Amino acid sequence: MEIKTHDKLFINGQWVKSTGTETIDVINSTTEEVMGRIPEGTADDVNAAVAAAKTAFESWSTTSVESRRRYLQLIADKLAAKKEEIAALVAAEVGMPLPLATAVQAGMPAMVMGSYAELLNSFQFEETIGKALVVKEPVGVVGCITPWNFPLHQVICKIAPALAAGCTVVLKPSEVAPLTSFVLAEIVADIGLPAGVFNLVTGYGPVVGEAIAAHPDVDMVSFTGSTRAGKRVSELAANTIKKVSLELGGKSANVILDDADFDKAVKSGVGACYFNSGQTCSALTRMLVPRSRYDEAVAIAKKTAEGFTVGDPLGGAAKLGPLVSATQRERVVGYIKKGIEEGATLVCGGAEMPEGLTKGYFVRPTVFANVNNKMTIAQEEIFGPVLSIIPYEDEDDAVRIANDTIYGLAGGVWSGDAERAKRVARRLRTGQVEINGGKFNPLVPFGGYKQSGNGRELGKYGLEEFLEVKAMLM
């Protein structure tokens, strides 16, 4: 793949040079070679982007809903048309196998953008309560700071509802996987979105991200990333009392009840842990199974995990590609070693490179048994293909273990009785629960309890995050 060099930022409807002189290399996670370069933006670049967004807000916030809907649909159509380009970039950056990247990393952004265009046909921005008129208005200039694991999807989950609401945006994508954000900026320029409505500033979190979070003219920050970084964003934003929406880490439990179809539930559960090589905040990384059927579950998980072939995401055969970076691989391998040190049983996988691979940030698909919920691998977010299988005594014990974490992003429940599954799901302190393998729905809210964040993305719930409420008393 040729090196994609981007030497300009997108500010106020124009491609402009950064005020800094440095660049950031984007690394191919399979070959470990440079695949792109982007500007290392500065706080001054953020100031220029925020100023442009603030000026543009006056007119964009008062455009008709129909006008905003048309722009969103145009972006959705252009994203769909560039599906192959987007998928190839993400497969190389992040490591998701190309067929999956095409469906998920490229398919979901177009779908979500289109869903907000559709939502604007029916969303009620006003209601009458007695003699009062209650109106929902755009919050203002929004700073969007996004992660590398679903690089374009997470961007669209923020800018689609922000633009739909009438907000203007300053985007800082992850410097690890930023290239699809330039594709988006090219689309924005191509469709003629008014200048300043969307601005792109690339760079490092401690410089560009912090400048956005602290900026007095940014009215809201929407951040997705680690809980540690989310706390820093909150600290900086607190000085100006701006609105903050956070989608952070997870350590989600997959509760398999004793009456479940174990073959189906465990196989699905392994896949739900390993999706995107485990680089998913909502990954179901703790599998909770009844002690009476524990050995059965471990055997199924071992066989399933050993079927996850590892290799080049562009090669067409691998189920798992590499992790995103050397740093990430070292982190995940460190957790695997920690699990062994703390006494968990390594069922399959391990810290060594997968057989036949000498280059790329690959990790063996790993399963641990005899895990207790106090172990590091059961409490901390690993962000790699590492599954912990934890036994429980009864339903109450399963719920206790599932909730025994600082996180509360997602979860799963499997049962032969759907009503029983729903009863257990109601007891889980998480923002989302998959029941018997329930599928992704772009119209339902996504977000977490506890230290998994605050606020919600997707659907009408995501749109409402970017709105202020005003009461006009008659």
Residue type, 290: P
For the record, the structure tokens of 81 come out as 């048309």
Residue 36 and residue 3 in contact, taking contact as beta carbons nearer than 8 Å: yes
Residue 38 and residue 54 in contact, taking contact as beta carbons nearer than 8 Å: no
Residue 273 designated active-site: no
Residue 170 and residue 218 in contact, taking contact as beta carbons nearer than 8 Å: yes
Residue 157 designated active-site: no
- Whole-angstrom Cα distance, residue 250 to residue 379? 9
- Output b/e per residue, 429-464; b: 16+ Cβ within 10 A: bbbbbbebeeeeebeebbbbbbbbbbbbbbbbbbbb
For the record, the structure tokens of 207 come out as 């410089």
Q: How many residues does the chain have?
A: 474
Residue type, 226: S
Q: What are the Cα distances from residue 295, in Å, to 299, 302, 364, 370, 388?
A: 6, 11, 22, 10, 14
Q: Which of 40, 93, 175, 247 is catalytic?
A: 247
For the record, the structure tokens of 280 come out as 């998913």
Residue 222 and residue 143 in contact, taking contact as beta carbons nearer than 8 Å: yes
Q: Which of 281, 381, 434, 465 is catalytic?
A: 281
Q: What are the Cα distances from residue 169, in Å, to 13, 63, 163, 212, 277?
A: 12, 15, 8, 11, 31
Q: What are the Cα distances from residue 443, in Å, to 125, 153, 422, 447, 463?
A: 18, 14, 20, 13, 11
Residue 300 and residue 348 in contact, taking contact as beta carbons nearer than 8 Å: no
Q: What is the dihedral of CA 158, 463, 166, 147, to 10 degrees?
A: -10
Residue 172 and residue 203 in contact, taking contact as beta carbons nearer than 8 Å: yes
Closest by alpha carbon to 455, among 259, 287, 237, 129? 237
Closest by alpha carbon to 232, among 210, 262, 207, 215? 210
Residue 252 CB neighbour total at 10 angstroms: 31
State the DSSP H helix or E strand holding residue 421, giving kind and residue range, or none if neither.
Answer: helix 418-427
Residues catalogued as catalytic? 247, 281
